[in-house]
Structure formats: C-alpha cells, structure tokens
Structure 1
Amino acid sequence: MRALRLCFGLVLILVLPAAAFAQDNYPSRPVRIVVGFGPGSAADLTARILAQRLSQTMGQQFFIENKPGGGSTVAAEQVVRGPKDGYTLFMGTVANVINAVLQPDLAFDFARDFAPIVYATSSPNILVVHPSTGVHDVRELIAFAKANPGKVFYGSSGVGTSPHLSGELFNMLAGTKMVHVPYSGSAQAVTDLIAGRTQVMFSPASTVLQYVASGQLTALASSERERASAAPDLPTVAESGLPGFDTSVWFGLMAPAGTSHEITEKLARAIDEALKNDDVVKSLHTAGLDIKGGTPEAFGAFVASETKKWNDVVVAAGLRK
C-alpha cells in the first residue's frame, strides 16, 4: 500500500507540473479555428482577420478550417467531439443558438458543450421595404401591416435564419401578421423584394445598402440595440417604436467545454486585445462588421440571453420541430 501511495505521488509530481507547463506555454503548436460557413462569409472573415492578428501576437499560426453544413451544426458537432486542449476552436454564431432552440434533439447541447471565449463581431439586419408600400418608418410599417393582415409578405434567406426570426420577433412585438416567404439565400430574397414580389425584409447590411443608395429599396431601421456603423444615420427598430427589439448576426470564439480555464482566459485576453488593434478594426469595419469584445463571462451571459429570446420567438411562432 505504501509503495502504491509512493507511485501515485510520483505520478502527481510528474504530471501536474507538465500540465501546468503546457498551459503556461500555450500555444506551442498551430491552432485551428473551425468555421461552419464557407470562405467569404461574415463568420469566415471575422475568423480570418482575428487569426492573422493572433498568429502575430501569440507566436503560433492560427488557421481556418471551413466546414459548412446544417447552418453551422456540422462544424459544431465536429468540434464538440474533438480534443479539449485549446488547439481546436469554434466560431460560434447566432445560427447555433437558433438551431438549438429549433431542434432540441441535436446530438449536442450548444449551451452546455461549448465554453465562451469572446464575443467578437456582429452585423445588424437592415429593415427594408419596397418603395411601392409608401412606408418610410417603423410606425408606418406597423400601421400598414395591421391594415393588411396576412397580405404583407416578408422575405428571408431561409427558415430558421436570423432574418426570418427577426421578422417573427417584429410580428410578436408589434402585433402584426406579416407572412414569411423563405428563399435559399439572401440574393434571391432581395431580387424578389426589388421586383415587388414581397414587400418587406430584414437583410444583412452588406446585402441591401447598395440598393437603398440607388433608391430601389427604402431603409427603415437597423435591428441592433445600437446604431450600425455601416449606417449610423439610420435609427434602430427599438428607438423607432419597438423598445426591446434587438437582433443581429453575431460571431464569437468558443472552445469545447472542458478546455482548460487558463487557456480560454489567455485566449480571451489576446482576442480582446486584437479587437482593439487599428488594423483589425479597419479590416472588420471594411467588411461591414461591428466590433464587440469583452470577457468570457459577458459572452456567456449574452448567449444565454439570446437563447431565451429566440426560444420565446420560436414558441410564439409555432416553429419548434
């Protein structure tokens, strides 16, 4: 028994310092960031811009692996099943929260199986209408929709996307009954809106602001609590008559739950600093992304609030599978 205790003690002496050294020395090899959308997407751009800066400041290469599918579900499941050593990270998005509330039978629990690191960026949806509606602000849209129940159609980039659920949240808060028309992507949805086949849409700023500038669409408001950096003169939905309305397409770095707290904290500090770098700020703003930052705890609280909000919307709209 004494020999067994001695051996166990020697194992602790050897293993614990090695584990501590591994954490202190992190990263000692390249770090992979898995993105659930293709190259050129906002999630991909956020990851690549940050990876370039982290490679410079942390002394190891941070590289991107794109694994699209299932609205980022395929990538999330791969990361959950992988090693929890800090060398495989995940670019979490609002799509993961929406998928979790729409499909409670997923093979993983997004809130439980991922550790938040930093809320990195967001992009607001812009509420736009076809000029033929004669609508120029949110209050007029609410009046127009209430005067035409079931006859006002809003497009989106697909069922369960942020633009879709932004429309459902609008219906819920405004007491309107706009009808959802899903498309296979934003481009076709915007094309039909410009053609007048639909009347309303919540769309990423980068997709529609050019058509607002040309007069083909009328912008009413941006969807986040704060005004969008890409359209600072445009009021928010909340300040235009629907207090509490706050939606965006957001992105944040995460690790599989069980990753060392010391490693996630080290990453959080490095990422938060990267988001303050002038070159990073310029690159992200050029891509139409608003910069966030903060602590893992703040990001975790934000994900929890997003989960509750979208769960309420999904229940109210009867969208649960």
Structure 2
Amino acid sequence: MTTITRRTALAGATLLPLAAPRAQAPWPDRPVRLIVPFTPGGSTDILARGMGQRLSEIFGQPFVIENRPGAGGTLGSEQVFRSAPDGYTLMMGHIGTLAANPALYRTLTWDIGAFVPVALVANVANFLVVTNRLEATDVRSLVALAKRDPGRLTYGSGGNGSAAHISMVAFMEETGTEMTHVPYRGTGPMMNDLIAGTINLTMTGGPPALPPVRAGQLRALGISSLERLPSASDIPTIAEQGVPGFDVLQWYGIVAPPGTPAALVTRLNEACNRVLGEAPFRARLETEGATAQPMTPAQFGDYIARERERWGALIRRNNVGLG
C-alpha cells in the first residue's frame, strides 16, 4: 500500500463514528407496580393507595396498586421477592408480612429478610372493636366475658399472619384469655361480617375501623397505643383499662426485591419522606389513626430486624404456626 493510499484509508477511518455507550433509560420511564399482598379495603391497601397517588405525581409515572392476596401475604410477597430488581415492582409490606411471617410460616422457601428496605410509611394504632350485639362495653368487661367461657368469643382478621391476627395473640397473652380466630381473605370481608354480627370482635387499624365506629355500626372499646389519639380522643387506651403497658402498633412500609440498586432506593426513600413531611398527607394519616414515620432505608432495616425478633418470640411462646 502506498503512503498516499495508507493516509487516505486512515483519514477515511476517522470518519467512522465510534460506538457510543448505551445510555440508561431514566427511572421511571413506565408505570411502577406497588403490590399489596392483601385484598382491597384494609390498612395496607388504603395506605398504599395514598402513597402511590403522591409518588405518581412526583415521578410523573403511574404507581399502580395491585392486590395479590393469599396465605397471610406470602403469595404477594414471594412474587415481589422474585421480581426483577429494577424498581418497577415494589411492595407495601407490614408487620405481618415482614416481621411475623418468618416465624408463622417455617417452610418458606425464600428469605423475607433479603427484601431491600425502602421507606417506613406509618405506624397505625389498633382499635379493639366489637359488634354492637356483644354486651361488652369496655376492655375489662370484654376480658371478663372471655374468661367466663374460654374459646366462645370469635375474633376476625384479614387472614392468618395478618396484623389483626398477631395483635390479638398479643392481647390474649397479656390478658390470659382464649378466643377463637376466624381468618378471612382480607380485612374488608371481615369487617362486613363483624358489622353483621357474624363474629364478635377484631383488633385492626384505624383506616378500616374508624368509619364504621363513627357511623355507629361498631363499638370501639380501646386503642392499642400507650397514649390516646388526637383524632379519637374519646376512645381510651387498652393500657388504661387494666392491661398496663399494652403497646401493639401496626406498621407499614415499602420494600423492594433483593438486589435493587442503592441509588434507586435512595431516590424512592427521599420521595416517600417528602410525602410524609407534607402537612395535608400527615393530616390525612392522623384522621385514620396513623402516624407518619420517616426513616432512612438503613433505619427501616434495623426496625424490621427488631420487630422480627419481638414478634417471632411471641409466636413461638404461643405456639402459633401456619406452615
């Protein structure tokens, strides 16, 4: 090849574009699924929809709520656990799915502890509510009624392993009572049966409990926090009615599949905490008996670990096992 030809070839080569690195699509560039592992109508669902709406507005993409109930939340949880860690599948978890289920379901084939904590959303006080047909008018009279005929009173929950289930296990342990558990496929159907008088009572969060109480369809005997709630100051605590120190709160937070990138988790956490700091959102939570609890992902992870230890011990002491 002559010098001129070689130079021409080299000059021509410089005209060929170099392969540019593939640009990553910004997240999110399509809808995000927020899985609720329970039926519509319960606290998990209500809080997920409120948070999902604001995240949709912040990120400019829909956060679509998908209810995937079954087996105490384990079916929906496993679906999220095995999803791609790309930020497009998240879960609104809670005290049952993230803390109690490892002890309740001993044959799980996947590690609940491997979920990536994103943001704690809220603590929710439980309301101990009874059908209007039950003669109990306060916690003391309910305990006396339960002790008079162990196992006769029935309490409902949104399913085995649900927050209502383990909260009632704690109540029975503290009061030395025995009642019969009636699990439902979600809080909504359970509340309908409670209003109808098919079951006697439940202990569930403010979002599903307060509306029928305020409508006179159910009677609230007490709340499970140590202090009365400003939004329901007329309802005494369980602790001040003969069960000192009783403090059983539900909590709800967003988690992601194992391997979700830390940068994406940080963005989500900052957005969630931004929402939790907004006065209208906090006021909305307070009217439903919920309290905003902003945390970093690391703080939320530590909180989950402590709660797993606490509720696992309770479950083992009471020999509650579901699989």
Shorter-normalised TM range: 0.7 to 0.9
1:108 aligns with 2:110: yes
Task: Choose 305-314 or 269-278, whichever is displaced more.
Answer: 305-314
For 2:64, the aligned partner's letter is I
Q: Kindly indicate whether the alpha-carbon contact (under 8 Å) linking 1:150 and 1:178 is maintained by their aligned counterparts in 2.
A: yes
Q: What is residue 69 of structure 2 aligned with on the other side?
A: 69
Alignment CA distance shift 1:26-1:235 (3 Å): farther
Shift of 1:38: 4.9
Q: What is the CA–CA distance in structure 2 between the aligned matches of 1:298 and 1:305, rounded to whole Å? A: 11
Question: Structure 1 residue 297: deviation in Å?
Answer: 2.6
Residue identity (%)? 35
- Residue aligning to 2:247: 246
C-alpha deviation, 1:175, in angstroms: 1.4
Worse overlay, 249-258 or 41-50: 41-50
Cα deviations by residue, 1:212-231 (Å, 9 ceiling, x for unpaired): 34555431111244544652
* Aligned alpha-carbon RMSD (Å): 3.3
Q: Which runs of 5+ in 1 are unaligned?
A: 1-17
Q: Tell whether 2:220 aligns with 1:219.
A: yes
Contact 1:128/1:220 (8 A) holds in 2: yes
Instruction: State whether residues 78 and 110 of structure 2, in contact with CA within 8 Å, keep that contact through their aligned partners in structure 1.
Output: yes
Cα deviation 1:247-274 (Å, max 9, x = unaligned): 3443211122322323322321221111
**TM-score, with structure 2 as normaliser:** 0.76
Aligned to 1:7: none
- Report the counterpart of residue 16 of structure 2 in structure 1: none
Aligned to 1:82, the other structure's residue is in SS state: coil
Instruction: State the Cα deviation string for residues 38-67 of structure 1 (Å, max 9, x = none).
Output: 556543443343334334444x42522514
CA contact (8 A) 2:97 2:162 kept: no
**Aligned residues of 2:41 and 2:188 also touching (Cα < 8 A):** no
Asked whether the 8 Å contact 1:85–1:260 carries over to 2, the reply is yes
CA separation of 1:233 and 1:260: change in aligned 2, threshold 3 A: same
Deviates more, 1:183-192 or 1:256-265: 183-192
| Residue 294 (structure 1) shift | 1.8
- 8 Å CA contact 1:119–1:293 kept in 2: the answer is yes
| Structure whose CA Rg is larger | 2
Q: Is the 8 A contact 1:225 1:245 kept in 2?
A: yes
Alignment of 1:137-286 (within 5 A): 137-186=138-187, 189-190=190-191, 193-194=194-195, 198-213=199-214, 215=216, 217-228=218-229, 230-285=231-286
Partner SS for 2:93? strand
Q: Which amino acid in structure 2 is aligned with residue 33 of structure 1?
A: R
Partners of 1:54 and 1:175 in 2: CA distance: 44
Tell me if 1:318 matches 2:322. no
User: Which consecutive unaligned segments of at least 5 residues does structure 2 have?
Assistant: 1-20
1:120 maps to which residue? 121
